[in-house]
Chain A
Amino acid sequence: MFFEMSNVTKSFGGLVANKDISVEIAEGEIVGLIGPNGAGKSTMFKTVTGFHIPDSGSISFGGKDITKYEPNKICQVGISCTFQKSQLFSALTLEESVLVGAYCRHKRKSQALPLAHRMIEFVGLGGKEEVKISKLNMFERKKAELAAALATEPKLLLLDELFAGLVPTEVELMLELVKKINEEFGTALFIVEHVLRVIMGICTKVYVLEYGQLIAVGTPEEVTSSEVVIKAYLGDDDFYAATDIKS
């Protein structure tokens, strides 16, 4: 398998944040991860990206066991991510910020710079190379972070609530961009999202997490009509079910 988490458990003291999680992602696939607040989605992402080391279980990528890799090594094998609440590098310019990512694979500035420029162009921020990150707006900053992550030339990209805080028109634009990443670079995407429009729109497979455990997996349609998932999101009241979750 291209990317595989098997039976990963992570706990903090007495709290089991992730229990027995198994996830599979194929090359170039777009996979979603949903779940109520506090379900352990971010913990799972941090475990994949090397910020947490799982208590048990293993993670493999491209045939390599990467369970105990440091975050920078994880990036070097081809997994990159965007953070939920990122400030990026506010003192750097856009160009320099994306360069940080580009330097992951290219040690020379003469090679890294064209790549950084290409990525800035790709996310639609061309012409703002010299602008400080602190002068960019929220939407631009998210695109900048995406550009930096793309500059590391990942084969799997993890997006942690990339769409949170965007207005509907921006969500649409970002969605186009994310689709374009998958089509043009063949990057597999693993998306944590609250905005169901995103999950429904592009994912081929969705995992649902509740209280640290996976409770469902399937196509977006299967998952959103699943009894367990509706219960997890809205409680037992049948009245609200099916209608709201799809909108």
Chain B
Amino acid sequence: MRSDNLLRRERLLHPLTAVSLALVILAAFVPIFGDRLMMNIAIMAMIYIILGHSWNLLTGLAGMFSITHALFFGLGVYGMSISVAKFHLPIIAGLLVGLLINIVMSAIVGMIGSKLSGLYFVMAQVGLSQTIYTLSIQLFPLTGGVTGLSMPREYLMDKSTLYWIALILAILTTLAFAFIRKSRMGTMFVALKENPDLSLSLGSNVGKWRIMATVMSASMASLAGSFYALFMMSNNPEVFSMVISLKIIIVVIVGGIGSVWGPIVGSSLVVMDELIRGIMPTTMAPFSVIIYALVLIIMAIRHPEGLISIGRSIGLKLEGKSMKKVSISK
């Protein structure tokens, strides 16, 4: 009976798989029917999907609350723009430089996270990210200061190319997250989040896994950052801003923390936000953060497990009904 039950639940995943396929197909048509604005919005949504997976890996799986996640994103942006605009390196080198800086930074953050927990970890992160933010402004010759650097024109790509790259990156990170969740690493991450003491006593090197989680997560964010530099063709210190960090957090929490579907569902918020910004007069645009806050508050009260929990509960209800039918027919 129980295995029967399990089979049903497995089957329930199929509608979700179908939905994701539909999403991919729909996404594939954006460059055909969409205008520049729509493509920009879609690209932003993809970037937040990547960042969402990155944050979800660190916080949703490993349970280390990353409050200044834009730090990793921003380093990816700067790695790319400095390498390409300042040192005239190829794009791939820019990507690697961003990754390298991020690995170093995340190893530091991870080491802090393996020693400190909770509020202290959060404070340390804020300190680090403010330092980097200030450096990005002050190191004018290297970073271009407040105005930032402009990428050389030959790197300008047309929107649909950028769109395809973003889509592929988003799909790859989604698959990577799903794979990691099922692998040894993912099991260890969740175990150390749930019960660090028991993980330790079962032989898991909790400190090492915490650093690993931070490095993996930062690498994903770096990817998004490097791509963002190519998309915006410039950098500026705002990529380190709290607003981006908060958006990442909200996207995942509203979508569903710890789930591979969370960032995908949650990125709809980014779409909504960009659409609203498009409609509102420019002076009002900064107020769009208020919408994020409202959505977060409502979701925290009504559906703390995220939008996907609504889908799940509907699924379970349907399952309940079909089971009733089966028992009646018998």
Q: Which residues of A approach B to under 8 Å, CB–CB?
A: 49-51, 70-72, 74-76, 80-81, 83, 86-92, 96-97, 99-101, 103-105, 107-109, 112, 127-128, 130-131, 148-149, 151-152
Contacts and interface: CB of A to CB of B under 8 A. Distances in A.
Interface of B: 2-3, 6, 183-184, 187-188, 190-191, 193-195, 197-206, 258
B183 A72 contact: no
A101 B190 contact: no
Given A72-B206, A89-B195, A90-B194, A83 B187 contact: no
Main secondary structure of the interface of A (DSSP, over half): loop
Contact of A92 (B183, B187, B201): B187
B200 A109 contact: no
B289 to A, nearest CB: 31
A99 B187 CA distance: 8
Contacts of B258: 91
A71 B201 contact: yes
B184 A80 contact: no
Contacts of A50: 200-201
Given A88-B195, A90-B194, A96-B190, A101 B202 contact: yes
B205 A72 contact: yes
B200 A70 contact: yes
A97 B194 CA distance: 11
B194 A91 contact: yes
Given A50-B201, A92-B190, A128-B2, 13 more contacts: A49-B201, A71-B197, A72-B203, A83-B201, A89-B191, A89-B194, A99-B184, A104-B204, A112-B184, A127-B2, A127-B3, A148-B202, A151-B202
Contacts of A104: 202-204
Given A72-B206, A103-B184, A109-B183, A91 B201 contact: no
A61 to B, nearest CB: 14
A60 to B, nearest CB: 19
B198 A86 contact: yes
Contact of B191 (A86, A92, A105): A92
Given A90-B194, A92-B194, A128-B2, A75 B187 contact: no
A51 B206 CA distance: 13
A247 B84 CA distance: 80
